[in-house]
């Protein structure tokens, strides 16, 4: 851990971790599948790219549903991220895991 991190840095990291984790576990299965396929596509094979494209092209409406259902999770992530930026600017710390 960075020696210049304080209790607030660690609290912000915990908040970010929890917010991302909650957003993931509450997301639609279609979103999770498309996310994993897209991740595998990076440096992956043609098969991975085809799977990601298939999931994304068939999942337009579930993505809109996910966006509306997870608005609270997105706001939580945004708020924690803004606190991170503000703390880094004020304290000169780099909030990193």
- The pLDDT value given to residue 17: 94
What distance in Å separates the CA atoms of residue 24 and residue 93, rounded to the nearest whole number? 28
pLDDT of 34-70, one tens digit each? 777 777 767 767 777 777 677 667 655 554 555 555 5
What distance in Å separates the CA atoms of residue 81 and residue 84, rounded to the nearest whole number? 5
Q: How many CB atoms lie within 10 A of CB 37?
A: 20
Q: How many CB atoms lie within 10 A of CB 49?
A: 15
The structural domains of the chain, with segments of one domain joined by +, span 7-91
Go through the chain and tell me how many residues it has.
Answer: 97
Higher-confidence residue of 74 and 3: namely 74
Higher-confidence residue of 32 and 58: namely 32
Cite the beta strand spans of 1-97 per DSSP E: none
Residue 20 has pLDDT above 90, yes or no: no
């Amino acid at each position: 851990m960075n020696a210049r991190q304080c209790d607030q840095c660690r609290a912000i990291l915990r908040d970010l971790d929890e917010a991302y984790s909650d957003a993931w576990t509450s997301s639609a299965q279609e979103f999770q599948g498309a996310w994993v396929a897209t991740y595998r596509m990076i440096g992956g094979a043609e098969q991975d790219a085809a799977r990601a494209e298939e999931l994304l092209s068939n999942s337009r409406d579930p993505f809109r549903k996910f966006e509306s259902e997870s608005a609270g999770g997105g706001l939580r992530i945004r708020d924690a991220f803004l606190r991170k930026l503000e703390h880094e600017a004020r304290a000169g710390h780099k909030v990193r895991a």
